[in-house]
Amino acid sequence: MNPCSHIQSRPLQKFSPTGHTSVPQPAKSQPMSIWRAIMKKPRTAVRSRPRKQASRQEGREKRVLSSSQVKPPTPNGLARRQEEVVVQASVSPYHLFRGTAEVRAFRENLLRWYDREKRDLPWRRRAEGEVDLDRRAYAVWVSEVMLQQTQVATVIDYYTRWMQKWPTLQDLASASLEGVNQLWAGLGYYSRGRRLHEGARKVVEELGGHVPRTAETLQQLLPGVGRYTAGAIASIAFGQATGVVDGNVVRVLCRVRAIGADSSSALVSQHLWSLAQQLVDPARPGDLNQAAMELGATVCTPQHPRCSQCPVRSLCRAHQRVEREQLLASRSLPGSPDVEECAPGSGQCRLCAPPSEPWDPTLGVTNFPRKASRRPPREECSATCVLEQPRAVGGPRILLVQRPNSGLLAGLWEFPSVTTEPSGQRQRQALLQELQRWAGPLPATRLRHLGQVVHTFSHIKLTYEVYGLALEGETPVTTTPPGARWLTREEFHTAAVSTAMKKVFRVYEGRRPGACKGSKRSPVSTPSSRKKPSPGQQLLDSFFRPHIPRDAPSLNSTAQ
């Protein structure tokens, strides 16, 4: 055994940012101080090949949601380096990369694997082939925002349609928020699209049409851009040698350096950022960052890692621990194998798992990282009604109203809804009053309860009690107050509505008279009538349950 019982202080190896760009002249109306901040660029001309990554971890949306608040000043490079030195001064060498040889081996092995195995993704192709730096940064920016908490397979189609509709920042800046919400509908975490739209308008209207060139100025000047997104844009689009940490990188680094403490804690978070900065390749910073994320997404996965295919397995302390445990279990060798482990001089190492959570041999490398305990989402109930005019001029129409411009699902359209208690007569009365506010007097006796939809947002489990009301014999409503509109079914399916509202509408369609005639599919039952559901009914019920991605976590994040 070769324990490391001493604590060592080693400042991080710091590299000069790299990249190249030509600096256009500022507009006369542009304040020079802002212009210098925007156009601050890497000093040496080494271009990275911009390529992008995999599914994002759940935590990053918190930065997006909190971006409407005043941002604290971004620490400059010197301040961050001082933070990194302080962190490393209190960390066992077991959790560090030692010397340039080990760092170089990690880079070379990872980049060689990435060049051979990287996925062909539309944002990578677009950024790689783009000569204009602002267009390249825009291509990376859009992909990074979409990939926050959303899987790659889902993002590909949205990204392709987005870039076809708004190929440049100027195109996006001139778009309406309604149009942005409409294209974003179904992608979730809608504040991301709103912040992206706000950022494009700021670049065009206030920053002379040029995206800030460094991670520090990107985070400081653009709404919705946090530390990770800023580092990704700066390294991939502009070649700045700055590391990034997303959920995939957290997993890779925690396993490679056997970090078992809570990865969401401030100490562990800062240590991971320090490691990422130490590892970033000054010649290919964007590729190195993407390679680390790609490794976490495709090989070093949360539940079933493929260690035999890992390019940095020889440097992975978690894998070394697994091998040691296997040797000890087999009793094929006397004594203990010579495998290094953390042994701080006194007390419990703050980067190791606490004594209350010992190593579980059945988990192998998935002992790392430690899963942070999460609060369950709070539960709320909403009554919502699909109000339809079957005999409206031009065909049947349904009523939608617009949500407020802030808060959950801001600016999206929905069926008239009220937050209520889970059940009772007051629920019907409150909903009827809300309907009459938008459509005038209504026949209360026709308000029918149709079923239930449960949709879980990141922090709210929302149960929709679904009602329906058809205005069969009444005079069609031709005028509506601001914030409401009547849409055909075709218009509804292309409108800026949330996934939850589409689920609500499917319940309504399944329960309206005649909807299921000639169909083998049974209608959705109400809770009161549901006794012994058939297998087909159980399948239908599960269809209306929301899909919650499992592989979606990170540092710093909540969502809308």
Which of 199, 128, 191 has the alpha carbon at shortest distance from 170? Answer: 199
* Ramachandran angles phi, psi of 460, nearest 5°: -140, 130
Q: Which 8-state DSSP code applies to residue 453?
A: E
Task: Please state, in angstroms and as integers, the Cα–Cα distance from residue 368 to each residue in 5, 103, 185, following that order.
Answer: 22, 21, 35
Task: Please state, in angstroms and as integers, the Cα–Cα distance from residue 101 to each residue in 98, 106, 267, 287, 523, following that order.
Answer: 8, 9, 26, 20, 65
The number of beta carbons lying within 10 Å of the beta carbon of residue 131 is 6
CA neighbours closer than 13 Å in the CB half-sphere of residue 530 = 16
Q: How do 448-456 and 378-389 pair as beta strands?
A: unpaired
Residue 59 to residue 73: CA distance in whole angstroms: 21
Determine contact, residues 420/430, Cβ cutoff 8 Å. yes
* Ramachandran angles phi, psi of 167, nearest 5°: -70, -15
Angle at which helices 133-146 and 191-206 pack, to 10 degrees? 160
Task: Please state, in angstroms and as integers, the Cα–Cα distance from residue 95 to each residue in 105, 149, 222, 344, following that order.
Answer: 17, 28, 34, 11
Residue 452 to residue 529: CA distance in whole angstroms: 12
Determine contact, residues 288/279, Cβ cutoff 8 Å. yes
* Ramachandran angles phi, psi of 423, nearest 5°: -155, 175
| Active-site residue flag, 108 | no
Q: Which one from 144, 294, 388, 465 is the annotated catalytic residue?
A: 144
Determine contact, residues 250/554, Cβ cutoff 8 Å. yes
Determine contact, residues 18/41, Cβ cutoff 8 Å. no
CA neighbours closer than 13 Å in the CB half-sphere of residue 417 = 24
- E strands, 437-516, are 448-456, 460-470, 484-487
Determine contact, residues 413/402, Cβ cutoff 8 Å. yes
Judged on CB neighbours under 10 Å (0-12, 13-18, 19+), 294 is buried
| Catalytic annotation, residues | 144
